[in-house]
Structure 1
Amino acid sequence: MRDAYGLDDDYREWVRGDRFDPAERWPWWIELVRSGVDRGVAVHRARIVSEPVSAYVRYEYELTAGHNLKAGEDVRWLPRRQASDIALPGNDFWLFDGTTVLFNHFAGDGTMTGEEAVTDPAVVRLCRDAFVAVWGRAVAHGAYRPS
């Protein structure tokens, strides 16, 4: 849900115009997701973005096909202005099997500061409902064109 995350060496390389194959850079992620998908696990990622998109979001967009989709994720994009009436959690999260939420915590500069696993049914329900609402409005990666 952020417009930028930690501006690491990979991002700085991309900004300089040095393109790389994300499958070669992060094979562990592709293997992790692919092994789950091969077992029948659905991996959905929704990205809520401001438009026009930031340079970081453009970087994410360009890497999605060779990284996330190649691994087997289904990725959708929702312009932030279309999410104004959705109750969203204050942090990025992963929802596992509808029973556990893993929140990712970030500093103001986008550096990840920690994670927090939560199993409280009310929190899980909030996150599930938010994700379902976002997913229903979001555009599939192949159809989304960042402005």
Structure 2
Amino acid sequence: MSTQSKGQDTAPASTQQAYQNHKSHELLTCSIKAPLFSYAHLEVVRDEPGTASTDALQFHSFCTSALTQFLGATGAAISLDILKVQGNECWLRVSRQDLGAFAAALTAWPGTRDAGAHTILRIRQCSDWLGAMVGGDGQDKLWTS
């Protein structure tokens, strides 16, 4: 003897048809609305061509100098993670909330003068996503060639 009623053991036809038409299953969905870090691509520009490439310590020193001059002790406290240095270019990671202050400090920084040679930092790219910056080499030459 069955105690279930006739309508409880089968799903409605429209629900069964929806399951049959859906061929894939979503296992996990994750949305990152506000990443913790932002990324910047910097370049050292010098008056004298042919000068040696810049190392990670020089990039860190230039950035710290710019941040200290612009924001004082607060700027010096901003954490920078240098991800890659290649020639006179550098990719670094900074806290997302500090990216605006970091970019403003580098833009306002007058650079350094050493034996008459002027050295400045140029921001080539900034993004909340490192993947958005990959493959950006040569974009500045697209409209000038």
Whose helix proportion is higher, 1 or 2?
A: 1
Quickly name the TM-score band, shorter chain normalised: under 0.3
Structure whose alpha-carbon radius of gyration is higher:
2
TM-score (normalised: structure 2): 0.24
